[in-house]
Amino acid sequence: MSVTDELALLTIDAEHVVTEAELAQRLASERPLRVKLGIDPTASDIHLGFAVVLRKLRQFQDLGHVAVLILGDFTALVGDPSGRSATRPRLSKAEVDAHAETYLDQVAKILVPERLEIRRNSEWLAAMGIEEVLRLTARTTVARMLERDDFAKRYASGAPISVMELLYPLLQGWDSVMVEADVELGGTDQLWNLLLGRQLQEQEGQAPQVALTTPLLVGLDGEQKMSKSLGNYVGIAEAPAEQFGKVMSIPDHLMDSYFRYATNASQTELHDYAELRKHARPVDAKRLLARRVVETYHEPGAGAEAEAEFDRVFKSGATPTEVPEHDPQDLSDRADADGRVRVSSLLVATGLASSGKDGKRLIEQGAVRRDGGPVTDVDATVALGELSGTVWQAGKRRWARFR
């Protein structure tokens, strides 16, 4: 493949390439490029939105280049401020390490191990002393930091910005220096950080990395970018039925972008889907999309099976074939002196709600059912001895069964 053809392939769906001429020059060198992508293990799931840039990284691999995946086990402790309107809650090292382990299996769904280098940035960041950190902070200015859109907005509104958050872009940029990246990939919200990496590399006498960004996939809410912290995401490791059901819930106007960015569809398939959308019912086009998403991350035929399970549960009102099971005794620490536990607390313990407040909200909305019957009292309790064999539901897709 010629350099021109490689460049055309790699820049398809790219939002920014800084610079395209530099990328062409690197490709013409006929040596494997080191293509960096960082991911902070802040939750257990890699979602469809992050998979957009992972597939771009796979394109580089397919052309013979080396994917350098940075597991940000140190930067995750700081918290990426990109796109944030408030300070991100800090995670413990144990939480970050647990999430990092799950990521390795998930990236294998997209990347090939033969040309994959996995690094943890704690290798170099955790070893830095205060003197080295101070030297790093001298590489840029507060005024430059406040050029970042999210920092500028927060500063203008009076929202707090911690000094630790200001360090994050410097730490990410220093990763590029340490792995000698030729190219760094990221979402469009990462462009400023990627450009700072170029600056740090130049200061260290390295050739500045090419910064290439990909579009941000809008989440299930149809408004904000897909995000683990917002909960509006589809995990690439989620069960086929869960993926199918979530994709079926997206607003119709997102279907084209999901088919383009959330699947591995070819340009021909994208054209065919656009033609189908002109004539097919929206629900039929969405079913095709949901099947395709499932089969992108699961074995052939998984999409059709997930669709059949979706119809069985949502059309016929049946209980899903696979429901997470829990031991009633796991709730004993939540029970009162009489051995009873609040339903809102039960929902949190089983993963049906994110918090007690969320559990009460679900009850108030009539979204909670026990063995098919509605639970309407936000203060309702249930005895631990009555839980065995019961099936609980929150919303349309979340279920739990007690042994």
Domain-terminating residue out of 315, 349, 375:
315
Ranges assigned E (strand) in 166-307 = 183-187, 210-214
Same domain, 255 and 289: yes
220 in a domain, yes or no?
no
Same domain, 106 and 194: yes
Domains held by the chain: number: 3
CATH number of the domain to which 157 belongs: 3.40.50.620
Same domain, 43 and 132: yes
d(CA 33, CA 23): 10
pLDDT, residue 403, reads 81
230 in a domain, yes or no?
no
Tell me which residue of 175, 177, 169 sits closest to 144, measured CA to CA: 169
Are the C-beta atoms of residues 46 and 100 closer than 8 Å to each other? no
Where residue 366 falls (left for φ over 0; alpha for ψ -120 to 50; beta otherwise) is left
d(CA 198, CA 112): 27
Same domain, 52 and 119: yes
Give the number of C-alpha atoms closer than 13 A to the C-alpha of residue 148, restricted to the C-beta side: 30
Are the C-beta atoms of residues 359 and 393 closer than 8 Å to each other? no
Structure tokens at 222: 């149809």
pLDDT (tens digit, 0 to 9) for every residue of the chain, 403 residues total?
899 999 999 999 999 999 999 999 999 998 999 999 999 887 778 899 999 999 999 999 999 999 999 998 888 877 666 655 555 566 677 878 887 888 888 999 999 999 999 999 999 999 999 999 999 999 999 998 888 888 888 888 988 888 888 898 999 999 999 999 999 999 999 999 999 999 999 999 999 999 999 999 999 999 999 987 777 899 999 989 989 999 999 999 999 999 999 999 999 999 999 999 999 999 999 999 999 999 999 999 999 999 998 888 766 666 777 778 888 888 888 888 888 999 998 998 888 887 888 888 889 988 898 877 889 898 999 988 888 888 888 887 788 888 8
Same domain, 246 and 291: yes
Longest dimension (CA), the chain: 75
Domain-terminating residue out of 315, 334, 365:
315
Same domain, 139 and 115: yes
Are the C-beta atoms of residues 369 and 392 closer than 8 Å to each other? yes
Residue with tokens 């001895």: 385
Residue with tokens 């944030």: 84
Q: What residues make up the domain containing 282? A: 240-315
Same domain, 305 and 337: no
pTM reported for the whole predicted model: 0.78
CATH number of the domain to which 331 belongs: 3.10.290.10
Same domain, 149 and 69: yes
d(CA 67, CA 112): 9
